[in-house]
Amino acid sequence: MQPDLKLYNTMTEQKESFRPRVPGKVSMFVCGPTVQGYLHVGHARTYTFYDVVARYLSHMGFEVNFLMNITDIDDKITQVAKEEGVDAMRLAEKYTKAFLEDTDSLKIYTVTKYERVSNYVQETMHEISALIRDGNAYVVDGTVYFNTATFPDFGKLSHMTPKELSLRPLELSVKKKHLLDFTLWRPVVLVEGRWDSPWGRGSPGWHIQDTAVTLTNFGAQYDIHGGAYELIYPHHEAEIAQGESLTKVKPLVNYWVHTGLVNTDGSKMSKSVGNVLTVREILKEYGPDTLRLYLLSHHYREDMEFEEKGLKKMYELYISLRGKAKIMEERRATKARRRDSGKVLGEFYAFLNDDFDTPEAITFMKKLIEDGASEKDQNQVELYYEALRITSNILGVNFFGRFQ
């Protein structure tokens, strides 16, 4: 069974029926972390949501190819490495390892492949060379810029007019031809990690790194691109410009799906601001199930305010539900025929099909557990149990044992 799923597409600014390019198969790319520190709650919210997307699509019968990049070439990594007096590439490897440990602890199991962008430097050079050859890029003193004047659609994802874009110039430099042009290759980023190129030693820019990963793995087009909405401009605009200029195929992505931010005291959670709470800290005290419930209890497109009192309240709810699920488990008719839970789960599927309304899906699951715990008929309890097994698998929140 495949869902009548509606997804909000940032490009069209409306909910659209989800139809993958290849029937039965979904290609999804999500912008991964810049590995300069430990995974924080803001990251966790984004990755948990797309994990649920992949879980649900897989449950409905789609073969999901979920790709995520790991940005291990970036000025921020270099800066942290200098502050800590360590090699930048070793710092990146340290936090890459920590990131993979943390995502596993958070039960983000659906990613098909993580790709370090440092493994795609040659691909970035090939793509930059092609952009230069076709007139979409130019070289100035060892720096390569994308020429946004050659891509009239620049700004179509963020829905900004040329005048509005002009108020948000990128990478101010007298060497550029236009205010909005952005870097594809720069002479200096990582002192310890520069590569020989046709334009001199240097490193690829941030935007071209992701394009190299997606075009290499997916080709000219794919189904879903995810990430926090703060990446829409300039990062995702740049990806569109690069990808569609290289392949001459439109659209690069069929569905642009963006998550909201996590704030603390009204400010975005960010390492640079210094208001981060790491996933490691939270999991030690509350565990992955509580954190996933807390993050998914807010609709993915809305910003959310992280409050520890809210997390504690969710932990109390989780413990209560876990106790009721245990009652359900003890009452179920273990030898009963597996019941058709589809009738029970109609509402649950409807919530997820409506642009992944996980808050309502969680409310449904709560009632499911309560009804199952109070039910006396063993065969009916078995029905609730089977339904809970399915909802738990999709949301990645377990109440007794690990469901596969």
Same domain as 236, residue 105: yes
Confidence of residue 264 (pLDDT cuts 50, 70, 90): confident
Same domain as 319, residue 223: no
Same domain as 91, residue 211: yes
Write out pLDDT tens, residues 220-242. Answer: 999 999 999 999 999 999 999 99
Nearest to 355 by CA among 25, 4, 23, 107: 4
The whole-model pTM stands at 0.94
Q: Is the pLDDT of residue 404 over 50?
A: no
Q: Is residue 182 part of a domain?
A: no
Same domain as 221, residue 114: yes
Confidence of residue 402 (pLDDT cuts 50, 70, 90): very low
Q: Is residue 202 part of a domain?
A: no
Q: Is residue 297 part of a domain?
A: no
Same domain as 364, residue 227: no
Same domain as 349, residue 233: no
Looking at residue 119, what DSSP letter applies? G
* Domain CATH number, residue 367: 1.20.120
Q: Is residue 80 part of a domain?
A: yes
Query: Could you identify the residue written with the tokens 């601001």?
Result: 273
- Pair 70, 96: CB distance under 8 Å: yes
Same domain as 313, residue 233: no
Q: Is residue 185 part of a domain?
A: no
Nearest to 368 by CA among 399, 396, 337: 399
- The helix or strand, by DSSP H or E, that contains position 9, with its residue range, turns out to be strand 6-9
Same domain as 115, residue 238: yes
pLDDT computed for residue 18 by the predictor: 97
Write out pLDDT tens, residues 358-387. Answer: 999 999 999 999 999 999 888 889 889 999
Q: Is residue 58 part of a domain?
A: yes
pLDDT computed for residue 162 by the predictor: 84
State the residue range of the domain holding 34.
6-135+147-156+207-268
Q: What are phi and psi of 101, to 5 degrees?
A: -65, -45
Same domain as 316, residue 230: no
Q: Is residue 178 part of a domain?
A: no
- Pair 68, 114: CB distance under 8 Å: yes
pLDDT computed for residue 352 by the predictor: 98
- Pair 102, 279: CB distance under 8 Å: yes
SS3 assignment, position 3: coil
Query: Could you identify the residue written with the tokens 């990613």?
Result: 111
Same domain as 104, residue 54: yes
DSSP string covering 341-353, please? Answer: TTTTTHHHHHHHH
Supply 374's token pair: 């109070």
Q: Is the pLDDT of residue 268 over 80?
A: no
Confidence of residue 333 (pLDDT cuts 50, 70, 90): low
Write out pLDDT tens, residues 58-92. Answer: 999 999 999 999 999 998 998 899 899 998 889 99
Q: Of 268, 288, 318, which residue constitutes the final position of a domain?
A: 268
Q: What pairing do the DSSP bridges indicate for beta strands 63-70 and 113-116?
A: parallel
Q: What pairing do the DSSP bridges indicate for beta strands 267-268 and 253-259?
A: unpaired
Number of domains in the chain: 2
Same domain as 240, residue 375: no
Same domain as 346, residue 243: no
* Domain CATH number, residue 26: 3.40.50.620
